[in-house]
Structure 1
Amino acid sequence: MSSKVEKRIVVDVPVGTAYNQWTQFEDFPRFMGGVESVTQLSDNRLKWVAHIAGVRRHWEATIVEQIPDRRIEWASTEGARNSGAVEFSDAGGNKTQLSLTLDYQPEGMVEKVGDLLHVVARQAEHDLKQFKEFIEHEGHATGAWRESAPTSEPSASNRYAHLFDQTGGLVDLEGESDGTADGEIHSAAERKGHKPDDGGAIPPLSGNLGDR
């Protein structure tokens, strides 16, 4: 069972300004209470250290989707299991509505979902208010990242799915599959005599997206 929180706020800056500031992940401790540090490991990987419900947590997260001026979505890959997304929409008059969704999974029997939901919801509301005060006081973003990051990882709602799963969760993870796209549609015996069609080959994952 997971703890899902949804919060919204309107900030008195244009969409581009609000979005640009949110891409500066290492600045999060300046307005997010409980966040000790966020370290940019690569273009789409982040290392977090934060205090949640009085307990120091750490995790690594991947940005699974990033669309300029519209949406940023991330999901943990190691450590505390959580995911989130923030969406930006024009509220008129050079104002922006931020819609924040957080999903944090309790660890074991120590954390109760109800108690954790209350803590995360209260913290999310506080952080959005702090973000509003920060960006409206600054009047401009401290930096910007304007590149799109297409989804190269499973979505946050199914982030533990198999990379090549095209079967709605019925992929064979324990049987003959070798973990490749070809392996999901052909048995081991069939693959020995099967010559892949170059025209349908899966292109390699993209490289460096650039500097933030």
Structure 2
Amino acid sequence: MSQVEESIEVDVPVHTAYNQWTQFETFPEFMSGVDRIEQRSDTLTHWVTSVNGVHREFDAEITEQIPDERVAWTTVSGEATQAGVVTFHRLGEEHTKVMLQLDFHPDGIAETVGDKLGFVKRQTKGDLERFKKFIEERGRETGIWRGTVV
């Protein structure tokens, strides 16, 4: 099992950053390698990814969701094994720290080598930088879901 931890500060209120992060179907707009996400229920998403020619489909379940604080998930079926949590920290009225922790199991030689070379860490950092640009340029979220999952 491998782990990546990355964070970024964004110039939007904590509720704006959190609300946008709950709009899973917009992830392909700022996450490289994510082709499509379908929200199947309040707690279940279906992911289609393509990273370096490796196509994966899997379902992820939201295991914890607390508005303006955190979203945690784990894969429940498919071709990927991962779990993670993203937390939101209010640094000021218009300033938020977004922290992402991801535990994953590289599958096969290409993914194992890519992990050892820091590919997943760089991709995660780039995804957070694109999230920052996405939400700051918009200045507001594309939608809101304030439900709690515990």
TM-score by length of 1: 0.67
Q: Which residue of 2 aligns with 1:137?
A: 137
Distance 1:98 1:131 in 2: 10
Q: Which residue of 1 aligns with 2:81?
A: 81
Distance 2:105 2:135 in 1: 30
1:145-184 mapped onto 2 (5 Å cutoff) = 145-150=145-150
Q: Which runs of 4+ in 1 moved over 2 A?
A: 110-115
Contact 1:12 1:95 in 2 (8 A): yes
Contact 1:11 1:96 in 2 (8 A): yes
Q: CA RMSD in A?
A: 1.3
Report SS of the residue matched to 2:68.
coil
Distance 2:25 2:121 in 1: 22
- Give the residue type in structure 1 aligned to 2:87: E
Larger gyration radius, structure 1 or structure 2 = 1
1:25-44 mapped onto 2 (5 Å cutoff) = 25-44=24-43
Distance 2:87 2:100 in 1: 7
TM-score by length of 2: 0.93
Distance 2:145 2:75 in 1: 21
Shift of 1:3: 1.5
Render the CA deviation track for 1:103-130: whole Å, top value 9, x for unaligned.
110224x246453251111110000000
Q: Size of the alignment, in residue pairs? A: 148
Q: Which has the higher contact order (CA 8 A, sep 6+)?
A: 2
| Identity within the alignment, % | 47
Structure 1, unmatched stretches of 5+, are: 151-212
Report SS of the residue matched to 2:40.
strand
1:82-97 mapped onto 2 (5 Å cutoff) = 82-97=82-97
Shift of 1:102: 1.1
Contact 1:7 1:99 in 2 (8 A): yes
Shift of 1:51: 1.7
Render the CA deviation track for 1:112-161: whole Å, top value 9, x for unaligned.
645325111111000000000000000000001111111xxxxxxxxxxx
Q: Which residue of 1 aligns with 2:5?
A: 6
Contact 1:53 1:119 in 2 (8 A): no
> Is 1:106 matched up with 2:106?
yes
Give the strand-richer structure, 1 or 2.
2
Q: Which residue of 1 aligns with 2:15?
A: 16
Distance 2:145 2:77 in 1: 24
Report SS of the residue matched to 1:149.
coil
Report SS of the residue matched to 1:103.
strand
Render the CA deviation track for 1:29-77: whole Å, top value 9, x for unaligned.
0111110000011110000011234311110010000000000001001
- Give the residue type in structure 2 aligned to 1:96: T
